[in-house]
Amino acid sequence: MSVNDDLPWIAPALGLIREAARNDIPVLGHCLGGQLMSKAFGGTVGPNPVREIGWGEVRVSQNGLARAWLGEPGSFLGFHWHGEAFTIPPGATRILENEHCLNQGFALGIHVGLQTHVEMTDELVRSWVSSGRAEIEAHAKSPAVQKPAEIESHLGPRLDALHEVANRIYDRWVASLRR
C-alpha cells in the first residue's frame, strides 16, 4: 500500500494529521504513518532505491534534535519493511538515517515520523514474515532484504534493544501530550 494510492481513507487521514498539528496535538507515525505525516506536512513519498525487509542499522543523525529524541546511541538495529520512502517535509529535521534509505525518521516540533519500525513485537515479526514470504522472495536480490530465518534469528535480544529505542521516542512524545 502507498500513500499515493487512490484509497478513500488517505485524504481524510492527511487532513486529520494536519488538523492535529494545527491544534498542537502530537502526531507519531511508523512506516506508512511516517509517510502519511511527510505528505501531510508538504513532503513527498516515492520509491526507495532498494526494498528494505528485515533488520538493518539505523543511525541517529548528527544534530541536536536527533539527540533530544534519541539520546546518544549512535546507531541501533531497526526493523524495516518498505519499498517507498518519504522526503523530509519543510521545517522538519532528519533524526534517523541509514545506508539504504536516507530518511528513516524526522521530527517537526512535537511530531515524529519514522520509516523504520521501532514498535515491533515477536508476534508481529513472525506474522509479517509468514504472510510476506512471497514479497521477500520477489525482492531477494535487494541488498537490504533478509531471508525469513535471518529475520527471525536472535529475535528476543533484537526486540529488547529495539524497545529501548522505542521507549526513548515514546517517552518524549508522550511528554508533549496535554490533558
Q: Which domains does the chain have, with CATH numbers?
A: 10-175 (3.40.50.880)
Residue closest to 126 by CA, chosen among 81, 94, 85, 168: 81
State how far the Cα of 2 lies from the Cα of 10, in Å rounded to an integer: 9
State how far the Cα of 37 lies from the Cα of 15, in Å rounded to an integer: 10
pTM (whole model) above 0.85? yes
Radius of gyration of the chain (CA): 16
User: What is the chain's pLDDT, residue by residue, as a tens digit (179 residues)?
Assistant: 899 999 999 999 999 999 999 999 999 999 999 999 999 999 999 999 999 999 999 999 999 999 999 987 699 999 999 999 999 999 999 999 999 999 999 999 999 999 999 999 999 999 999 999 999 999 999 999 999 999 999 999 999 999 999 999 999 999 999 76
Strands 111-114 and 105-108: antiparallel
What would the grid cell of residue 6 be? 487512490
State how far the Cα of 27 lies from the Cα of 15, in Å rounded to an integer: 12
Q: Which residue has the cell 512524545?
A: 173
